Structure 1
């Protein structure tokens, strides 16, 4: 079998923007790329991104293709929920919980405010529907309900979030809640968001939720409309999460796949919702234009004609 790695497509060895690097082995155990230039295309000026913090990576290898203040610690708003969903998917994979589980909403979950699906105290909803609500409309009440279902209490779940972040090498990150609602000390970086996004996209099921544009809950009584417009406006986009608070600004972590190449782009701290989508699309365009997935044989693989 073959695993993709990156070959930059650069004219005359041109500089595509900020120097690219790789995740450390602790952060990305699969990051053992063999780089191969595949020949020049057209040259392009240095990529200009206005977001205070931004990053573009290739998902399989973890190679960083562009970065701008990628380790600056910033409030991530609802992008936090990438970690919430990651822990849920890993718990499902480990057999600890099931998508069919019925989750009973607590008072704490019902009182979250912000983006929500208006869970009532004692209301029962499947774990699958709660995760869908998190993915599509960034529901805070659903996030807390999922956290409590997994760990018994949001505080215990937050400890799990921070432990998982440490395991992934997310050195810029400290979580305080499962939602991303404003809280002192709740910080991460564009780099760390890319790291946890890279883990989440290893779970194919999440893309079924992230690519929903419009759906319903409660037997059609409540409509869900996706907060990520790139799902319908950008070819190959199948995730991930928007975020906004006054302190965080407009944020987005997005992923798209074309011709076997999956990219993850993160922008943080923008002043306008429309601009975050434009900036993210610019990053993805850059990646797909200047890089291509190259098949590389695995160690000890016998190559035949």
Structure 2
């Protein structure tokens, strides 16, 4: 197959490119930054905000991993990159299957499943997004699903070598010999290996499962204290963990956000409501449909690879 991958220079997009190449597919990497040259790979510079790609290459499928990921940036930026950029992708390939890399952040903090913290694809997106990023992801999904031939993948807290989002936040929380962790040590956090996301994207391109939404997550959620210990060991951190508890984490996030906005800070504070939602709320994501539709059985979380990052 010949597959186009948007956001190919990013953490997730790059993993998708590598997986597709290793599986023997040809890849057209679409991104602003250059990518490492490899056999079977062609790079096409493309800024999603410029609209439809002229002289678009012929491909069998498109993995749309391009999006703006900094939740602190204003809605106008997310709308231009994530929402309008998605329309540009669909306009460029109006008759080609699209696999969208979305996010489990579109879900409400509590679902309708049993137990109530287990979320399935039947749970509707939240009506109260905690960030412009989440709001844009919800809009992006609606645009793609309206076309009727897309697969939407919803990973949560993607981890692995080179993570540029969550791991740097944990690194910033190392202060005074402590690793400050929002939430309680026994909070259940469901992570997603970036290799699992890449495998699901490739399998979705190869399959004929029709329009569907699929959760993508590791075998089972882990307690936050075990995640922190694993990440610290993988990165050589020696700080002792300090768990704040959920109420304190939410309060600190609200104060931090309010102060940063009053100061018109262009940089997100250490604690945001969006960030706290990933680590201070027990949630799990049902993956039975991932098995049924794509034949993928998630493996146990391997924290030894959650290193590096920007």
What is the TM-score normalised by the length of structure 2? Answer: 0.26
**Higher helix fraction: Structure 1 or Structure 2?**
2
Q: Which has the higher contact order (CA 8 A, sep 6+)?
A: 1
What is the TM-score normalised by the length of structure 1? Answer: 0.26
